[in-house]
Structure 1
Amino acid sequence: MRIGVDIGGTFTDLCVLDATGVVAVGKVLTTHDEPARAVEEVLRATLADAGPVTQLVHGTTLVTNALIERKGSRTALLATAGFRDVLQMRREHRYELYDLLIELPEPLVPRHLRFDVPERILADGTVDTPLDEEYVARLGRELAVRGIEAVAVCFLHAFTDARHERRVAEILREVAPGLRVALSSEVVPEIREFERASTTAANVYVQDLTERYLRDLEKRLHRAGIGPAPHIMLSNGGIATVDTAARHPIRILESGPAGGALAAAAFGAGAREADLLAFDMGGTTAKLCMISGGAPLVTHEFEIGRVYRLLPGSGLPVKVPVTDMIEIGVGGGSIARIDPLGLLTVGPDSAGSEPGPVCYSRGGTEPTVTDADLVLGYLDPGYFLGGAMSLDARAAREAIRTRIAVPLGVSVEQAAYGIHASVDEDMANAARVHAVERGKNPAELPMFAFGGAGPVHGAGVAKALGAPRVVAPPAAGVMSALGFLTAPLAFDFVRSARSGVDDLTGSAAEALFAEMEAEGEALLAESGVDSAEVRHRRIAEMRYTGQGYEIRVEVPEDTGDWPKPLVAAFTRTYRELYRRTGPDVGVEVLNWRVVSSGPAPEVALRVHGGETGEAKKGTRAAYFPEAGGFVDTPVFDRYVLRPGDGFGGPAIVEERESTLVVPPGAHCVVREDASLEVTV
């Protein structure tokens, strides 16, 4: 028996899997004051009579929230003399070129805690200025006295030669053993000073908070009778031990969404659909990820806390491998309001679980997307979470009436549908940009909709995109937790070694790869993975000489006649992305990467229903403007439907953790894997 647990902004989800498939799911409200408490609660509520557990995989939004809310350690930055302000200066690029009042997020480390350290190593490893060890020792003692808790060290060219950074760590541990120290050469040994400094600072900023949380989680799991130590979901789709996650907390930044993308890829593989759009809408945010070639796309550029959610460059950059997705602040708990121009807006702020939407009756006063979906008849007030939580439709209706309908001069139903449709359009617009930037046409791809609110809005988003089909998997409301259980133990490594391909030798590249692969095997061995079971993916980050940024290229297995196979792979990848080849200039490599992973677990994705009887539970009034307003809509029990069953819209399909809305004119059929496929 294996368990996946995902802490989201509103709910904490649980999925229990054995050799035959999903045997139990659970969902409780997230406890933001003590996140691990919700994990313990959902385990006790769901696993009263559970058998022995062999693995528990956990994902959390803790790191993301701590960075956005600035709830980490008091952190200092030590930089090469003359470079302490790189965090403030950022890059020349402006995300809004003509905005004279452009807003940028404040660095995690304020200027008075950023220090110029006398030292400098050149790009070729030559020591230009020796490290002033006396200065470092004095500074370390002063920082400890002043109550500083963490130190990020980011020296120029440390990704090439880390000896000065390592010596600083030794000195600080001698003079101020209570300080947490993070070295850029260990956190992100890559070119580009600003991103490297930002990532290193973010890692140590949340390290204490993350480690305390993970240790609390271990204690609570032990108290709940869970024997094995938990594994932690990484942002790139792999899993790691608690110790590894505690050393590199920045690697679990997007652990929850990564699980959902993995689940989408697994269901797509079962249906022989290697390319699709994964649409995850929970209580706080909505995410969309491209599944290409049977796997989620991964990026090494990510931003936290953007000032403007759809504008790259307006957030804090972190340079770690992350499942490549777009995330916007529209979830079930997103708050709807009238802006100063008199227009309806939704999000990005969310009511979360405390106080939650108005209909939760927990003190919320502002209408949310969930309130709107309830008023429209898409949700059953008596069957939310399978009846474990009742919703107050009257309160939701009154909140929408006073806050939205009256100011706009429309009916409550029109106001509610405006909220619902606004969310669909926002996500479709974001998805369209995201897909096109990755060389994909969203109108050609099926959409895989999950999360508590994903199936409610999936058909609307697909229709706005022009996507042909929507697939809602079983247990859609806990899909990220299920996705955790499809992930192998994995970690990735990088070395920056800029070189023109004509100057490369196969032996030099092989030496870099071998060094990283040895690290990968050693790290996985700590989790009990035999070296014979470890698989390595080799990746080169390449560009035309003179370009500012690079693309990721899979290194061919056959590297004979080097470097022709590598150049051919680069040209092919470049053409797939941009539908053209570049100028007639040389090609260079900036970074070399290795992704080391253990064997992927064998997972049965079948969900046990067990219910018999009539699939149609009854009817209720639901609002569809294309049908003229409220219409009597059939309501089906997800657990009674069987493969091959089909029906036309309008219709509603209910399960305990989510609800699927089939609009008029659409058709729904149950697939062999129990997923519901809606042709819009």
Structure 2
Amino acid sequence: MDRRLRVGIDIGGTFTDLIVVDDRTGTFWVAKTLTTPDDPAVGVRRALIQGLELAGSPAEQIQAVIHGTTLVTNAIIERKGDKTALVTTKGFRDAIEIAREHRFDMYDIFIERPKPIAPRRLRFEIDERLLADGTVYRPVDPAEVEALAERLRREGVEAVAICFLHSYRNPEHERQVAAILAERLPGVRISLSSEVVGEIREYERTSTTLANVYVQRIVEGYLDRLQRSLTELGSRARLLIMLSSGGICTVETARRFPVRLIESGPAAGALAAAYTGRLVGTPNLLAFDMGGTTAKVCLIDNGRPMITTEFEVDRVYRFKKGSGLPIKASSIEMIEIGAGGGSIAHIDQFGLIKVGPDSAGSQPGPACYGLGGTRPTVTDADLVLGYLDPDFFLGGEMHISREAAEEAIEREIARPLGMSVIEAAWSIHQLVNENMASAARIHAVEHGKDVRAYPLFASGGAGPVHAYRVAEILGVRQILCPFAAGVGSTIGFLAAPLAFDFVRSAYARLDQVDWDTINALYAEMEGEGRTLLAASGVPEDQVTVTRTADMRLLGQAHEISVPIPLGVLGPQSEAEVLRAFETVYRDLYKRARPGVPIEIMSWRVLVSGPEPELRLRRQEQSGGARQKGERPVYFPELGGFHPTPIYDRYQLRPGDCFDGPAVVEERESTVVVGPRGHATVDEHLNLVIRLE
């Protein structure tokens, strides 16, 4: 049978989104169902069945399923992983709890720090020691490890993270201990820090290794259930998983390194924005993805999302950097805000309206869903303001109640504050917009960018509803809303290449680098990457290699990522690397570097296959009117509710244009065009809104 279909699946906090693409014709179909938090695989199966029915194709025609999930993040936040122990060097048992000297809130004497995954009673020491250059100072005593294995068995430990001092320079001790424990503790998952993240900084490396092994069993079980569901539907499709870095990997890699999947869902949204930007010739974008639980903002520069090598999960204070567990892994850099459609509005102790970070999710959902939720959310406010049609939510498959939304807002917000329901709903709506705009502005400034120079790319079920006001606050003059924006992140899955990244720490001053050692490190990492890609079916001549290094001024605490030339490096490379550092430094800080030496902490390689060819073509719809009706929609600058034309997204054609105010509806999302907006449909069916 002709296996011509590819499927992208994104599990969000409220909805599970899916796209089915026919690679032969470019025709695509989308599906959206409520997420099933107790077992996300159930929601995936429902969405897949729905998508195949729309495509009129059997599951046998699927060649690949690319998937992103919040499963790892949720398991860590909810602490639903395995009973995990840490095995570390003698004297360093408490390093994971001591963490860094930095306090994320200097003046809070009751500050709460993130709790390590391994409690103190499950942190064990081995009397071994490596020196900073990787040479052995004190070898491993096998008898000591065997005795430790008995203690771990008595404690009922299900997973073990091994993290020895300086093992990134020499992994032999970790491997010795792992071999003994694996023999005596069958069925216990074991992760080595030298394999999970072969990089300097003990605290971050240990935290990442603990997180990896803590969720390994959960991820293995989930991927097995997902693969089984595909088989039961009659599909022999290859299952691939999105990495936080924006590449995709095999199930085998995901099972071994699940910590690399933490930001897999949000990464796809950024890739979708980058793909669309390249397609329409707008390589610089501010990607704004607002779903049911959170909103994410990411800068796209030169057609590529920015990448970071460290982020946090399970923050004690959700939006305070430093209050979470650090994860050392490559990830698309974005800022997340607790401002999704399901974010709950409430009155704080000072009598002010606040929105989020708590979310109604898919269960019980916003009050208007009628599924048990009683507290007002952003979706409830948008419905009361007329931005959403209660009879056309999910294309009419799911009816939502304006009366229930008004009742929730009246009870929780309007009546206590002496406001009308409409005033309260507008306050909720605009407060969310201000929060998102503020976060986007800070995110841009931190990277030395002027956010006003970046057109806004709006995706997610709620993104296009709020994009106009967010752009207005930011001073952005152009908004790009793709077709099927409500499931936009799924497109990112299909645009991502197979890719793996590697890192080795080898400290050196730039003027004292042993280039033979660095050439050997790069050759080792590149060889490992090429082997993985070859095993995944990527031809050798289609492999792309990118090199970077983490560099800083002598004595600084943090590094910046600098491109490193390919080929054999030598003394002649010093000047080229220095110029690259100065360029990145100037772009970031808007000043020339001080005249002090440069040092390099770690060396990185990204090995990737070709980007899949993705040319989407919308199915032709039967003839119909562009404007399908009119309804009162709230625009305060027009005096309140204003008769507003409602356009059918499926009847719009390239070249169509209209002025705001207007509302454009499609099954998975709604675009709100404010009074200053002028909308045009481009050749790729994107809705381009310019603010006059």
Q: Distance in 2 between matches of 1:428 and 1:204?
A: 37
Aligned to 1:317: 326
The answer on whether the counterparts of 2:134 and 2:167 sit within 8 Å (CA) in structure 1 is: no
Q: Distance in 2 between matches of 1:583 and 1:610?
A: 61
> Secondary structure of the residue that 1:160 maps to in structure 2?
coil
The answer on whether the counterparts of 2:393 and 2:399 sit within 8 Å (CA) in structure 1 is: yes
2:603 aligned partner, one-letter code: W
Aligned to 2:646: 635
Select which of 599, 604, 609 maps to 1:593: 604
Answering whether residue 320 of structure 2 is matched by residue 308 of structure 1, we say: no
Which ranges in structure 1 are unaligned for 5 or more consecutive residues? none
Aligned to 1:14: 18
> Secondary structure of the residue that 1:621 maps to in structure 2?
strand
Select which of 125, 132, 137 maps to 2:141: 132
Residues 513-546 of structure 1 show CA distances to partners (whole Å, capped at 9, x for unaligned) of 1110100011112211122221110111111111
Residues 294-350 of structure 1 show CA distances to partners (whole Å, capped at 9, x for unaligned) of 101110110012223332111110000111000111100111111111110111011
What does residue range 294-443 of structure 1 map to in structure 2 within 5 Å?
Answer: 294-443=303-452
Answering whether residue 499 of structure 2 is matched by residue 490 of structure 1, we say: yes
Answering whether residue 503 of structure 2 is matched by residue 499 of structure 1, we say: no
Residues 487-537 of structure 1 show CA distances to partners (whole Å, capped at 9, x for unaligned) of 000010010001111112443322211110100011112211122221110
Aligned to 1:77: 86
Answering whether residue 482 of structure 2 is matched by residue 508 of structure 1, we say: no
The answer on whether the counterparts of 1:285 and 1:329 sit within 8 Å (CA) in structure 2 is: yes
> Secondary structure of the residue that 2:517 maps to in structure 1?
helix
Select which of 609, 623, 637 maps to 1:612: 623
Answering whether residue 75 of structure 2 is matched by residue 33 of structure 1, we say: no
Equivalent pairs, count: 680
Answering whether residue 543 of structure 2 is matched by residue 538 of structure 1, we say: no
Aligned to 1:522: 531
Residues 201-242 of structure 1 show CA distances to partners (whole Å, capped at 9, x for unaligned) of 000000000000000000001112222221001110000111
1:193 aligned partner, one-letter code: E
1:208 aligned partner, one-letter code: R
Aligned to 1:549: 558
Moved more, 346-355 or 132-141: 132-141
1:495 aligned partner, one-letter code: R
Q: Distance in 1 between matches of 2:238 and 2:150?
A: 37
Select which of 57, 62, 82 maps to 1:50: 57
The answer on whether the counterparts of 2:28 and 2:617 sit within 8 Å (CA) in structure 1 is: no
What does residue range 211-360 of structure 1 map to in structure 2 within 5 Å?
Answer: 211-360=220-369
> Secondary structure of the residue that 1:622 maps to in structure 2?
strand
Moved more, 386-395 or 91-100: 91-100
Q: Distance in 1 between matches of 2:620 and 2:423?
A: 37
Q: Distance in 2 between matches of 1:67 and 1:581?
A: 42
Answering whether residue 626 of structure 2 is matched by residue 622 of structure 1, we say: no
Q: Offset at 1:582?
A: 2.4
Answering whether residue 460 of structure 2 is matched by residue 463 of structure 1, we say: no
Aligned to 1:475: 484
Answering whether residue 665 of structure 2 is matched by residue 654 of structure 1, we say: yes
The answer on whether the counterparts of 1:383 and 1:390 sit within 8 Å (CA) in structure 2 is: yes
Relative to structure 1, is the Cα distance of residues 121 and 557 closer, same or farther in structure 2, using a 3 angstrom cutoff?
A: closer
The answer on whether the counterparts of 1:43 and 1:224 sit within 8 Å (CA) in structure 2 is: no
Residues 371-393 of structure 1 show CA distances to partners (whole Å, capped at 9, x for unaligned) of 11011100000111111101011
Q: Offset at 1:644?
A: 1.2
The answer on whether the counterparts of 1:505 and 1:563 sit within 8 Å (CA) in structure 2 is: no
The answer on whether the counterparts of 2:471 and 2:477 sit within 8 Å (CA) in structure 1 is: yes
Aligned to 1:166: 175
The answer on whether the counterparts of 1:334 and 1:347 sit within 8 Å (CA) in structure 2 is: yes
> Secondary structure of the residue that 2:326 maps to in structure 1?
strand
Q: Offset at 1:22?
A: 4.3
Q: Distance in 2 between matches of 1:608 and 1:675?
A: 15
> Secondary structure of the residue that 2:178 maps to in structure 1?
helix
> Secondary structure of the residue that 1:591 maps to in structure 2?
strand
Q: Distance in 1 between matches of 2:134 and 2:420?
A: 70
The answer on whether the counterparts of 1:475 and 1:607 sit within 8 Å (CA) in structure 2 is: no
Residues 90-116 of structure 1 show CA distances to partners (whole Å, capped at 9, x for unaligned) of 101111122222221211111111112
Aligned to 1:674: 685
Select which of 117, 124, 134 maps to 2:126: 117
Aligned to 1:23: 28
Q: Offset at 1:15?
A: 0.6
Q: Offset at 1:557?
A: 4.0
> Secondary structure of the residue that 1:497 maps to in structure 2?
strand
Q: Distance in 1 between matches of 2:635 and 2:387?
A: 10
Moved more, 93-102 or 620-629: 93-102
Q: Distance in 1 between matches of 2:251 and 2:458?
A: 30
> Secondary structure of the residue that 2:580 maps to in structure 1?
helix
The answer on whether the counterparts of 1:556 and 1:569 sit within 8 Å (CA) in structure 2 is: no
Q: Distance in 2 between matches of 1:211 and 1:549?
A: 35
Aligned to 1:445: 454
Residues 467-502 of structure 1 show CA distances to partners (whole Å, capped at 9, x for unaligned) of 111111001011111110000000100100011111
Select which of 569, 581, 593 maps to 1:570: 581
The answer on whether the counterparts of 2:19 and 2:51 sit within 8 Å (CA) in structure 1 is: no
Q: Distance in 1 between matches of 2:318 and 2:240?
A: 31
Q: Distance in 1 between matches of 2:566 and 2:310?
A: 26
Give me the TM-score of the superposition, normalised by structure 2: 0.97
Q: Distance in 2 between matches of 1:455 and 1:422?
A: 16
The answer on whether the counterparts of 1:63 and 1:253 sit within 8 Å (CA) in structure 2 is: yes
> Secondary structure of the residue that 2:7 maps to in structure 1?
strand
Answering whether residue 201 of structure 2 is matched by residue 192 of structure 1, we say: yes
